[in-house]
Amino acid sequence: MVYSEKVIDHYQHPRNVGSLDKSSSEVGTGVVGAPECGDVMKLQIQVEDGVIVDAKFKTFGCGSAIASSSLATEWLKGRTIEEAQQIRNVDIVEELALPPVKIHCSVLAEDAIRSALEDWRKKQSQPNA
Amino acid sequence: MNESRRVYFDHQATCPVDPRVLEAMLPFFRETFGNAASRSHSYGWDAERATDQARESIGAAIGASGREIVFTSGATESNNLAILGAARMYRDKGKHLITCGTEHKAVLDPMKFLEHEGWEVTVLDVDGLGRIDLDALRAAIRPDTTLVSLMHANNEIGTLHPIAKIGAICKEKGVLFHTDATQSVGKVPVDVEAMGVDLLSASAHKIYGPKGVGMLYVRRRAPRVRLDPIMHGGGHERGLRSGTLNVPGIVGFARALELCLAERDSDSARVGALRDRLQRRFEEALTHVHVNGDQENRLAANLNISFEFVEGESLLMGMEGIAVSSGSACTSASLEPSYVLRALGVGDELAHSSVRFSLGRASTEDEVDYVAARTIAAVTRLREMSPLYEMALEGIDLKTVQWTGH
């Protein structure tokens, strides 16, 4: 697979690798994919006053899956929940110049964002969380 | 570490041409360039003499006579000729064929093609090490079975099938036996008489010969095997494979095989020791590594190993300059993980995490240590960013997790 320089850069220098405290009420966690499909992404956001102040990821997957999730965390930081909701997989495809066979990696990253936002929202609706 | 250094550990894909092979081939491009089928002048006679010598030499290397060797463009063509040719020639006897799930696509796909044309194919299961059950083979053979095709050495995991035992069963049952010996000829002893083989495929470029040339052994006595040709034309190769002979390629093939035989014992002991060193390095430095295939009966040069929690393509990206293969879906044209590893039942997750290292004649201890260090560093880095590794460290059983597959 011949990747764009941006994919290689994210692969070699992934941004925001790590984990946030998943039990915190400020943290939303999304885990998407499956080991037998060859990719699993865990994406976490920390939200304060409606703004994403931190984002972390861990990914099992190919180079473009790692790059897609790394890019997603970069984009999420500093955005409001509403702005984060607007991130689309096609934006990731464009930014990383992903080849057609790797588009599913960007879809997975979008799923991970949505899943993390959903988890955070759920926590906000639980009064004792 | 010098990341621009290149190491080639993919010899089961192809090999460089040995300089001694190239030297033997060169005169046949410009000086002795004749068509081996030209009967009216010395250019043709010289070319024919060269291919006849090569034929004798290759035949002798596998316990056959030169007249039993049909030259082809490579093992894919040899497999096609053996399977399509035998199935069609003996269609009146029956239309049932037997193979197994870990065969090369050049065996499985011709079989699948014949299924569409009305043949029935039994694909035998293999166990977790890639071995077939001889009793299952025996039970699968029916009165209308005409051909059994089972490979000698597997291209991905290096597992060796017990060819002599399979040959004996086929002989006893009166069915033809084809073996794809592309990965074994020149590396382990092959004798078509002792092994009871009727048809055998081999290729030059897996043994330091040139690409684009292979052969099919076709037994002439007890029984005399007949084939329906798939290539029609000038009637070359006794009508079994029309087309002008690739004289330099054939000369190179014979020379390559002679060199393998002369050096096989020392080569395989040396390469086997290097492979074991590589495997030991991984097992000492890393947890959660799984060797795929049969460690008892395996090609000396092969190490197929899964590094759990790390996806194969991303691992290869982290080993730039090192040439190896992976069973990961992302490295295959089909976007499916290795069907060979799937057939072993190792699980798709471990198939995605597999890497095949195949060493060669020129491999060194220094290369092994370098490749081991680079691989271990890349696995360690990727595990640190793997959610699966994190979960495993937390004691979560990944099999109990509800995944959202897509």
> What pLDDT does residue B405 have?
65
Q: What is the token pair recorded at B402? A: 């509800």
Active site residue A62: no
Q: Active site includes A37?
A: yes
Q: What is the average pLDDT across A5-20?
A: 96
Half-sphere exposure of B16 (CA within 13 A, CB side): 11
Weakly modelled stretches of chain B, pLDDT under 70: 1-3, 331-334, 405-406
What is the nearest CA distance from B339 to chain A, expressed in angstroms?
13
Per-residue confidence (pLDDT) for residue B1, from 0 to 100: 56
**Residue B77 in tokens:** 């063509």
ipTM of model over 0.90: yes
Confidence at residue B329, expressed as pLDDT on a 0 to 100 scale: 76
Taking the CA of residue A103 and the nearest CA in chain B, the distance in Å comes to 12
pLDDT in tens, A15-72: 999 999 999 999 999 999 999 989 999 999 999 999 999 999 999 999 999 999 999 9
Determine the distance in angstroms separating the CA of B221 from the nearest CA of chain A, rounded to an integer: 49
Is A41 close to B347, i.e. CB distance below 8 A?
A: no
Residue B257 CA to residue B24 CA, distance in Å, equals: 12
| Residue from the list A19, A108, A111 with its beta carbon closest to the beta carbon of B390 | A19
Inter-chain contact A62–B330, Cβ cutoff 8 Å? yes
DSSP letters, A39-79, are EEEEEEEEEETTEEEEEEEEEES-HHHHHHHHHHHHHHTT-
Q: Is B271 exposed, middle or buried (0-12, 13-18, 19+ CB in 10 A)?
A: buried
Residue pairs spanning A and B at CB distance below 8 A? 90
Angle at B164 between CA B161 and CA B169, to 5 degrees: 100
Select the residue from A36, A60, A113 to test the B interface by mutation, using most B Cβ atoms within 10 A. Answer: A60
Residues of A in CB contact (< 8 Å) with B are 1, 3, 8, 11, 14, 17, 19, 31-42, 57-63, 65-66, 101, 104, 107-108, 111, 115
Q: Concatenated DSSP letters for B367-400? A: HHHHHHHHHHHHHHHHHHT-HHHHHHHTT--GGG
DSSP line for B176-229: EEEEE-TTTTTTS---HHHHT-SEEEEESGGGTS-TT-EEEEE--SSSPP----
Contact A59 B329 (CB under 8 A): no
> Which pLDDT value is given to residue B26?
98
Who wins on pLDDT, B249 or A127?
A: B249
> pLDDT value at position A128?
59
State the Cα–Cα distance between residues B161 and B139, nearest whole angstrom.
18
Residues of A in contact with B313 (CB under 8 A): 1, 62-63
Q: Phi first, then psi: what are they for B71, rounded to 5°?
A: -80, 140
Assess contact for B337 and B350: CB atoms under 8 A. no
For residue A115, give the chain B residue with the closest CA: B404
Beta bridge partners of A124: none
Chain B residues close to A33, C-beta within 8 Å: 403-406
pLDDT of res. B404: 82
pLDDT of residue B328: 85
Q: What was the pLDDT predicted at B3?
A: 62
Whole-prediction pTM: 0.95
- For residue A59, what is the nearest residue in chain B, using CA coordinates? B386
| CB-CB neighbors (< 8 A) of A57 in chain B | 385
Contact B314 A107 (CB under 8 A): no
**pLDDT digits over A91-115, tens only?**
999 999 999 989 999 999 999 999 9
Cβ contact, residue pair A33, B404, below 8 Å: yes
Which residue of B317, B384, B403 is in closest CB contact with A33? B403
Question: What's the token pair of residue B311?
Answer: 């996806």
- Domains located in chain B, CATH noted: 7-14+264-400 (3.90.1150.10), 19-259 (3.40.640.10)
Mutant choice from B315, B316, B317 vs A, greatest count of A C-beta within 10 A = B317
Asked if B314 and A38 come within 8 Å (Cβ–Cβ), the reply is no
A27-34 β-sheet, strand order = A27-34, A39-48, A51-60
Task: Report how far residue B319's alpha carbon sits from residue B298's, in angstroms, rounded to the nearest whole number.
Answer: 25
Structure-block tokens of residue B199:
């048809």
**Can you give the C-alpha Rg of chain A in angstroms?**
14
Query: Per residue in B78-132, pLDDT tens?
Result: 999 999 999 999 999 999 999 999 999 999 999 999 999 999 999 999 999 999 9
Q: Please tell me the predicted confidence (pLDDT) of residue B180.
A: 98
Query: Are the Cβ atoms of B388 and A37 closer than 8 angstroms?
Result: no
Parallel/antiparallel/unpaired status of strands B302-307 and B214-218: unpaired
> How many CB atoms within 10 Å of residue B31?
10
d(CA A68, CA B341): 28
Catalytic hit among A43, A52, A55, A105 = A105
Of B284, B385, B404, B399, the closest CA to residue B349 belongs to B399
B352 part of contact set with chain A, CB < 8 Å:
yes
Strand order in the sheet with B354-358: B289-291, B302-307, B354-358, B325-326
Task: Please tell me the predicted confidence (pLDDT) of residue A126.
Answer: 80
Cβ pair A58:B314 closer than 8 A = no
